[in-house]
Amino acid sequence: MPFFPLPFDRRSFLRSVGLLSAAGLTAPRLHALAGATEESAAQVSSNDRIRLALVGAGGQGQYDTSVALQVPGVELVAVADCYQGRLDHCRERWGASLFTTRDYREILARSDVDAVLVATPDHWHKQAAIDAMHAGKDVYCEKPMIHLYADGPQMIEAAHSTGRILQIGSQRVSSMIYAKARDLLASGAIGKLNMVTAHWDRNSSIGAWNYTIPLDASPETCDWSRFLGTAPQIPFSSEQFFQWRKWKAYGSGVAGDLFVHLFSGTHFITGAKGPTRAMATGGLRFWKDGRNVPDVMLALFDYPEGFNLSLRVNFVDGGQENEGLVFTGSEGTMIISGNAVTVSRTPRETAPGLTVGTFTEAMQRQIRKQYFTRYPLQHPAGPPPVALDRYAAPDGYSDSYDHFANFFHAVRTRTPVVEDAVFGFRAAGAALLSNVSYERDSIVHWDPVAMKIV
């Protein structure tokens, strides 16, 4: 495929711009990205089989499991969840012999479990992941890695002291689109990065976390005290159990749910460790249904690398649901949207420009004469040309598959994962600065290397 050569060859790019677009916007040149290399089923010996257990069998846990089971040599042996209906459904889905329990410690005690997938609400991530690592299991823990800032150092320490593999589940970090974007940025395709603008808007009730509550929800079918864990002890609420993201006792607001993906993507593509300053605003504008987190949030971040990040989540959006990141550089723009990354590039004008219309005719003539001698017109037919290159993943491409494949490869080879606890903490810690800023009504300072609020 005709990718930009690395390192980016500015001259040859400008030449191709000239050929492709004498004036104005060109039609994008399309490039198909090659599929990821996989370990095939034949390459995985029976000794390499990984026996997986799921802790938290809700929407993401069951989806993740279905993806993980596509990786050769992975089998599901046990599931823990606090709602009986989900345990029953897992047996319907993956076989009646599956071991199921409401208490995940029974799973951690089993010798036939090698790895644990933690897909509980956020307030359980730290405890379940640390308990699993101390029980000798490798862990894939869903994002956001932390619910409280104190969770980060504890999880990093547990991964270090136990020597277990810990992958955090922000699958964009394994995406071939994001890898291409990282290479394009490093090659100079858009010049020096100046700003990243990203959003994740939703305009539906489900998008705003109003998930369906099953008809049999009750203290008998739902293990309420196990769900609550260390959260404030309140009477049973089926709404809080099944729509937990709406309360900060269990979830982390739109920042922990969605900003975190935008942070992990931005950090992966730019190589940045995190922002130094954060400021967030927003409000609860539409979904006034008892939730205690905002449904609109805007946040700004300063990066020591010399760019700003601007993030938005809008659950009151009247348009389409969508997610996107725009990287603006000194020489062009790179947009990630859907399963593709597009680069547009405008050669930078070197002439200073002219504003002479208010001067006398004689003065205008004199200045123009001098100016065009010194700066011959570069684009007499109009504005400078824009070149577009679009790199698309194959139909049906799944970054989640690649993220799990990376995890299981690390489990087999004891090599580092693509998203370890430090990376996960830097992404989630940066995201949660938005909540701190929103609640304190002030700018918050963060040390991205030490991973601490300053």
Ligand X SMILES: NC(=O)c1ccc[n+]([C@@H]2O[C@H](COP(=O)([O-])OP(=O)(O)OC[C@H]3O[C@@H](n4cnc5c(N)ncnc54)[C@H](O)[C@@H]3O)[C@@H](O)[C@H]2O)c1
Q: Which residues here bind ligand X, judged by CB under 6 A?
A: 55-61, 80-83, 86, 104, 119-122, 124, 142-143, 169, 171, 226-227, 229, 244, 257
Separation CA 291–CA 307 (nearest Å):
34
3-state secondary structure at position 74 = strand
State which residue, 17 or 118, has the beta carbon closest to ligand X.
118
Residue type, 387: A
Task: Find the shortest distance in angstroms from Cβ 291 to ligand X.
Answer: 15
- Distance, CA of 354 to CA of 50 (rounded, Å): 68
Kindly give, in sequence order, each residue whose CB lies less than 8 Å from that of residue 60, ignoring residues fewer than 6 positions away: 119, 142
Strands, E assignment, 202-269: none
Backbone angles phi, psi at 254, to 5 degrees: -65, -25
Write down the least CB distance from residue 377 to ligand X, Å: 50
Q: Which CB atom, from 56 or from 332, has the smaller least distance to ligand X?
A: 56
Nearest residue (CB) to ligand X, 174 versus 342: 174
Name the minimum Å distance from CB 189 to ligand X.
Answer: 27
Dmax of the chain from CA atoms?
93
Taking the complex as a whole, how short is the minimal distance between the CB of residue 192 and ligand X, in angstroms? 31
Shortest Å distance, C-beta 257 to ligand X = 6
DSSP 257: I
Distances (CA, A) of 300 to 91, 241, 271, 407: 45, 32, 19, 32
Which residue number places its CB atom closest to ligand X? 58
Nearer to ligand X, 188 or 253 (CB): 253
The CB-of-138 to ligand X minimum distance in angstroms stands at: 18
CB 141 within 8 A of CB 166: yes
Q: Are strands 308-314 and 193-201 parallel, antiparallel or unpaired?
A: parallel
Buried b (16+ CB within 10 A) or exposed e, 277-311: bbbbebeeeebeeebebbbbbbbbbbbeeebbbeb
Which one, of 168, 161, 175, lies nearest residue 142 by Cα?
Answer: 168
- Write down the least CB distance from residue 239 to ligand X, Å: 12
CA distances from 10 to 71, 190, 327 (A): 40, 10, 18
Please say which residue, 83 or 178, places its beta carbon nearer to ligand X.
83
Smallest separation (angstroms) from ligand X to the CB of 122: 5
